[in-house]
Chain A
Amino acid sequence: MAEFLTPKNLVIKIVVCSAVLAVVMCLCALVGTQRISLENVLAGPGQGPGENTDYEIFVGVRIPRVILAALAGAALACAGVILQAILRNPLADPYILGISSGAGLGVIIAVLSGITWSFWAGSPITVFAFAGATLTVWLVWYIGHLAGKSQVTSLLLAGVVINAFFSAVIMFLTSILKSHQLRSTTLWLMGNITEKDPSVLWVSAVCILAGILGLFSICHRLNVLTFGQEEAKGLGVDPAKTRFAAFGLAAFITAIAVSLSGLIGFVGLIIPHAVRLVFGPDHRQLLPVSAIIGGAFLVIADTVARTIVAPAQLPVGVITAIAGGPFFLVLLAKYSRKVSWLK
């Protein structure tokens, strides 16, 4: 890389990116199917529902949605960075180790069983998706470990096979779902952001931000790890421990993101690559910048999803793939000669 990463340099980059994210979030909260005026929003809530609809739409619908999109985008982009690093595979994304199918299976079980209780204001779908994702990750990790020393390959294999197996179970279960349940699950599997209860949002925000901070604290070890296992040991970094911590935290934030917004594809794959192409491969910078850019990207994608076919809406996963693919290809064509993958 051209320049050495200094703390000052990093702080400036993070501040600039955060400012961009803040501006994006504000602008997107002002855009929607209904035209609302900032003046009315600032006037505060009226006496009852329907009194000041602009305020209700802004505070009750758009802000939770924008925050949720930013959180999910940040979590997925971070998990993508981490998994690409520890698996040393540029095709890795947050879902490669079976989280998607595990969470999907959880959702279908929740829908099929018709459970209606809610746990800490989380709907059954959220709770089951989280449980499914966590259990699957644990299973993949456990089986990947059984296979022996060359963990990375066996981890990948275990992930791919468990993904395939759970997908088959999902197919079987969807074929016996009722029609309207089927539609709900399909939307979820395409990635669908809706308004959530503020307390759910709050809890998941704290968890995701804590997870990202935890990952940030081991970034320098990930840098060392990319030289190879033996070299890392020589430099005093325990590859197994680092990998375990990184994997656990990445899985945790992905599980939360997935349980909130369904399977939003592409963010976890292209954002880390795009940031790496533009800013370089140092993880101390790659991780926070990816988190912020990932959040901003998903906020924009969700805004497009909820306005483009107004008053109807599209699943946000459709937008991330349609918009993200070509954008990424342009970046790839422009920058790929400068950087080699995962150096």
Chain B
Amino acid sequence: MILKKSWTLPTITIVCLSCVFGLYWAAASRKTFRLPTTTSPPKRIVSLAPNLTEILFALGLGENVVAVSNNCDWPAEAVSRKKVGTFWQPNTEAIIASKPDLVITLRFEQQKAVADTLNRLGYKVLTLKVEEIEELFTAIQKMGEAADCIERAEKLAGSIRKKTNDLQSKYGLANKVKTLWVVQVEPLRIAGRSTFVNEMLELAGGENAIGPTIGQYPQIGTEELLACGAEVIIQSAMGASNIDRQQQAAESFWSKFAALPAVKNNRIYVVNPDTALRLGPRLPEGIEIIARCLHPDTAMEKHNVALQTR
């Protein structure tokens, strides 16, 4: 060894680092075992997803919501709440700084990492999976339990269920309309059968024009598209603004597939994704928007439908 002496330095560094780490670890793990101090209903709630925020406000807990994600834009009051990062990358610091006594997150990797950190620090975190319509009702129930308002939760869940059932009996029994739900045009991506969009389509009396696929929102080719025989095309807008312009763009895009019944009969609708694609208390409104696109005769004229979808 040429540089034997230099061994002492890394060794000392390692020992020092070990001490720092050890101390830090001990401090952190001591905190882990601390029990939540409050048992009263939460007064300061943080929500990390738009649909969870909507549920909280629908449960009448809006007053107690202190911070929301940047993507939470409904109801209007939610916009004025403190922002704690995006839905995809919540900011742990900002969440802690808003001193929550309940944090509600969705169950996927990014939010789970945040939930773990908060749990470790002793915060109360409720993690929910809301990917199917049935899970929405479970989520409302669990939020009601966590926020100590079970009765209101049951009432809310009941009213959403009733409205949904009413819509189903109004539109769901008619002839199934073959529908293509487009999430992106270049490349063409559509909602497959294992999505909640598909559930909404079926409740609104539609049928997915594309059969079972491997992916949830698969990319499809022109051949498949021309063979699917879609009678209606519903396209979710990119953002809630400029829907008129997006409608025109969609019509000109689809004009090259004139063989499709939907294009031939000019039944292309661009809908606002914030209303139609959010698994929250506005679910019945979403279903109704879809139903009006699918069954304009049962609802009203196409022109009005287009206005209503905005």
Query: Is A198 in contact with B85, judged by CB distance below 8 angstroms?
Result: no
CB distance from B48 to the nearest CB of A (A): 12
Question: Chain B: how many interface residues by the 8 Å CB criterion?
Answer: 58
Stretch from B7-15, B173-181, B247-255 at the A interface: B7-15
Query: Is B9 in contact with A11, judged by CB distance below 8 angstroms?
Result: yes
- A60-B96, A125-B109, A197-B116 in contact; A311/B91 too (CB < 8 A)? yes
Task: Tell me the residues in window 96-150 of chain B with beta carbons closer than 8 Å to chain A beta carbons.
Answer: 96-97, 99-101, 108-110, 112-114, 116-117, 120-123
How distant is the Cα of A18 from the Cα of B108 in the complex, in angstroms? 38
Stretch from B28-36, B265-273, B298-306 at the A interface: B28-36
Residue in B17, B29, B116 whose CB lies within 8 Å of A209: B17
Query: Is B13 in contact with A18, judged by CB distance below 8 angstroms?
Result: yes
Assess whether A245 is interfacial by the CB under 8 Å rule.
Answer: no
CB distance from B42 to the nearest CB of A (A): 11
Residue in B25, B94, B117 whose CB lies within 8 Å of A60: B117
- A198-B25, A209-B17, A311-B84 in contact; A61/B214 too (CB < 8 A)? no
CB distance from A43 to the nearest CB of B (A): 14
Query: Is B27 in contact with A178, judged by CB distance below 8 angstroms?
Result: no
How distant is the Cα of A53 from the Cα of B27 in the complex, in angstroms? 15
- A34-B94, A61-B92, A202-B21 in contact; A50/B216 too (CB < 8 A)? no
Type the 1/0 row for A43-63, where 1 means its CB is closer than 8 Å to any CB of B.
001011110010011011111
Assess whether A343 is interfacial by the CB under 8 Å rule.
Answer: no
Assess whether B86 is interfacial by the CB under 8 Å rule.
Answer: yes
CB distance from A143 to the nearest CB of B (A): 31
A216 neighbours in B (Cβ, 8 Å): 10
Query: Is A11 in contact with B84, judged by CB distance below 8 angstroms?
Result: no
Assess whether A10 is interfacial by the CB under 8 Å rule.
Answer: yes
- A59-B27, A198-B29, A310-B91 in contact; A53/B3 too (CB < 8 A)? no
Of B1, B97, B108, most A-chain CB atoms within 10 Å: B97
Type the 1/0 row for B59-70, where 1 means its CB is closer than 8 Å to any CB of A.
000000000001
Query: Is A15 in contact with B93, judged by CB distance below 8 angstroms?
Result: no
Query: Is A61 in contact with B3, judged by CB distance below 8 angstroms?
Result: no
CB distance from B238 to the nearest CB of A (A): 15
How distant is the Cα of A217 from the Cα of B6 in the complex, in angstroms? 10
Q: Which residue of B lies closest to A175 (CB)?
A: B215
Query: Is B108 in contact with A180, judged by CB distance below 8 angstroms?
Result: yes
Q: A198-B25, A311-B83 are in contact. List 20 more A-B contacts (CB 8 A).
A: A33-B91, A45-B27, A49-B101, A50-B100, A50-B123, A53-B97, A60-B28, A61-B93, A123-B116, A175-B215, A176-B218, A179-B217, A183-B88, A184-B110, A187-B88, A198-B29, A205-B21, A213-B10, A220-B2, A311-B84
Across chains A and B, which 7 residue pairs bring their CB atoms closest together, nearest first? Answer: A48-B37, A184-B109, A49-B122, A50-B99, A176-B215, A34-B97, A195-B117
